[in-house]
Amino acid sequence: MRAPLIIAVAQPLCLPCDVAANAATHAATVRSAGARVVVFPELSLTGYEFDAPAITVEDPRLVPLLEACVETRTLALAGAPVGGEEGTMRIAMLAIDATGARVAYRKMWLGGAEPDHFVPGLEPAVIEVDGWQLGLAICKDTGVPQHAADTAALGIDVYVAGVLEAAEDAAIVEERAKRVAADHRVWVAIASFAGSTGGGYDRAAGGSGIWSADGLVVAQAGPDVGAIARATLS
C-alpha cells in the first residue's frame, strides 16, 4: 500500500530574471508548504521573460532551493528556460530534491510568441514519487487533449502542471483541470502564476488548485501573490 501524497501548488512572488531571489523565495515556499511535492508555475525561476538566459541544473543560484528540499524531504517542480542542441532554448520543468536538480520535462506545445524564442520538447514525461506517478505539463500543454492523452498513456495518477494565464482568462485553469480529470480519471494539480511578469502579463490569474479524479476542486488559491493550495491525495 502506498502512502498518501501531500502535494502543494504555489504562486510565489517572481522578480524578472532574478534567479537568485526567486530561488530563495521558492525555498521559503517549500519550507512553509508542508508537502512532499511543491509545484511552481511556468518559468517561475525567471518570470515569463524571453531574454532570460538558460538555467543549468548545476547553477549555484539553485542551492538555497536544493537545501530547502533536502531539509524538508520535498520534491520541488520549478519552471525554467533550459538550453538545448545548437544553442536552442526550451521551456522546462526542473525537478529538485535531495538527489539534486534535473530537467524533468520540456514543454511540447508552444503558444503565442514562444516559437520565436524556444523549440518544443519531444515527448511526454512522468516522474515517480513514493509510488505515485506524476505526469508533467506546462501551460499550453494543458489545453491540448492529445498531450494529456499521451501522458496518461504512460500510466499516471496525477497530471501536474505549471501555467501562466492572464487574469481575464482565469477560468481556463479550472476548465482544463476538470477536462483532464474527466477524460483520464486522474488527480490534477496546477500551479498558476500570480502577479505580473513579462510577455504583456501585467496581471496574471493565480488560482492555483488541486482537483480530484472526479473533477471536484479539493483546494484552490485565490489570485494573490504568495498563496499556496495543498491537498492530501489518497
CB atoms within 10 A of CB 211: 26
Check pLDDT > 90 for residue 67: yes
What mean pLDDT do residues 19-48 have? 98
Check pLDDT > 90 for residue 82: yes
What mean pLDDT do residues 215-219 have? 97
For the chain, state the CA radius of gyration. 16
Give the chain's mean pLDDT: 97
pLDDT tens-digit map of 141-154: 999 999 999 999 99
pLDDT tens-digit map of 92-117: 999 999 999 999 999 999 999 999 99
pLDDT tens-digit map of 174-198: 999 999 999 999 999 999 999 999 9
What mean pLDDT do residues 8-37 have? 98
Buried b (16+ CB within 10 A) or exposed e, 111-129: eeebeeebbebeebbbbeb
Check pLDDT > 90 for residue 84: no
Check pLDDT > 90 for residue 30: yes
What mean pLDDT do residues 30-55 have? 98
Check pLDDT > 90 for residue 49: yes
CB atoms within 10 A of CB 194: 27
Q: Where residue 87 falls among pLDDT bands split at 50, 70, 90? A: confident
Residue 39 phi/psi, 5-degree rounding, is -105, 135
